[in-house]
Amino acid sequence: MFGFFERGFKKTLEVIKALDKSLLVETVNHINKDRLEEILIESDVTYDLIEEILLNLPNEISRDDLEPRLLRCFSEIQTDWHHKKPFIQLIIGVNGSGKTTTIAKLASKYRKQGKRVLLGASDTFRAAAIEQLRSWADRLDIPIIFSKQGHDPSGVTFDAIRSGVARNVDYVIIDTAGRLHNQSNLSEELKKIVRVADKALSGAPHQKVLVLDGTQGTSAIIQAEKFNEIIGIDGIIITKLDGTAKGGAIFSIAEALKVPILYIGIGEKPEDLIEFNSKEFVKGLLDKLYKGEQKI
Ligand SMILES: Nc1nc2c(ncn2[C@@H]2O[C@H](COP(=O)(O)OP(=O)(O)OP(=O)(O)O)[C@@H](O)[C@H]2O)c(=O)[nH]1
Ligand SMILES: [Mg+2]
């Protein structure tokens, strides 16, 4: 049975292994600073953060020295979120980052927990986007509120939330467009969706979740900062980690945005979503670096 780290960061691990064949094989008490720097660079941690992590550490670094430095990159997940019913999640992110697929994954996960879910197809920019979400709703047997292409996405958001309240569901998940005619259209649209959501149900959306494409590594940070400026982000989901060696970017993304990473996506199927746990992530990486293959 593979642990969290092996499942989520397979490609990243391959790259770390490829750096040096002897690494990750034997149990070691210390890792040389230069070698650690190389590992972090190769897995796409930003250089500024690497410097911060390694600052004032000795040349031979112990696990106990390194662990707190890695852990402090992450923000805690708020635990009182899920007391709201319905819990309204607004899913945002650029075109193709994996929003719609991630919504299907979340919906499927909630269903498995015995929760009731309703979807809102507020990406009205493209007809195909509405169809894609509808087809997931069909497959997962979940109700969905949608309208025609070109209709006001905040109208769909309002209807979805009201319908979720009337049906007494546990979760309403709202899809949004990743690209409009221009950037200022997109920001205005997102702001309006948030305003209208609050009119439909005071306090909604309860969680604004940014979906980032993991294959972009740390270059996703600038994009994320823009979304954060527009409407503020409460949590991040990083997708497509199955196809990238840039898993180390997680450290930089979490540290730069000061927002918790909620889940990671590791494939295209509904079950390919893993809850992110920073302690397990760091432990998994340290186990690989210090304990080597034989002990796992
Ligand atoms: N390998 C892999 N592919 C993924 C993952 N998440 C999403 N994808 C794929 O990425 C592509 C884009 O996903 P969508 O969910 O359509 O992305 P989107 O953000 O909704 O895109 P727009 O609606 O165009 O803005 C699809 O082919 C998905 O199957 C993942 O975790 N791993
Ligand atoms: Mg989409």
Q: What pLDDT digit, counting tens, does each position of 113-122 carry?
A: 999 999 999 9
Q: For residue 122, report the distance from its CA to the centre of ligand 2, in Å.
A: 10
The answer, yes or no, to whether any atom of ligand 1 lies below 6 A from the CB of 123, is yes
Mean pLDDT score, 60-68: 96
Average pLDDT, the chain: 90
Q: Read off the pLDDT band of 11 (50, 70, 90).
A: confident
Q: For residue 279, report the distance from its CA to the centre of ligand 1, in Å.
A: 27
Between the alpha carbon of residue 1 and those of residues 4, 78, 244, the distances in Å are 10, 29, 22
The answer, yes or no, to whether any atom of ligand 1 lies below 6 A from the CB of 129, is yes
Measured between alpha carbons, how far is 134 from 131 in angstroms, rounded to an integer?
5
pLDDT of residue 144: 98
pLDDT of residue 28: 84
Which atom of ligand 1 is nearest to 265's Cα? 31
The answer, yes or no, to whether any atom of ligand 1 lies below 6 A from the CB of 213, is no
Which atom of ligand 1 is nearest to 179's Cα? 25
Q: Read off the pLDDT band of 296 (50, 70, 90).
A: very low
pLDDT of residue 25: 65
Which atom of ligand 1 is nearest to 105's Cα? 6
Mean pLDDT score, 270-290: 91
Q: For residues 194 and 1, which has the higher predicted lDDT (pLDDT)?
A: 194
Largest Cα–Cα distance in the chain? 62
Which residues lie at CB < 5 A from ion ligand 2?
99-100, 129
Q: For residues 4 and 218, which has the higher predicted lDDT (pLDDT)?
A: 218
Measured between alpha carbons, how far is 50 from 6 in angstroms, rounded to an integer?
22
Q: Which of 66, 5, 43, 44 is nearest to 290 (CA)?
A: 66
The answer, yes or no, to whether any atom of ligand 1 lies below 6 A from the CB of 215, is no
pTM, two decimals, is: 0.93
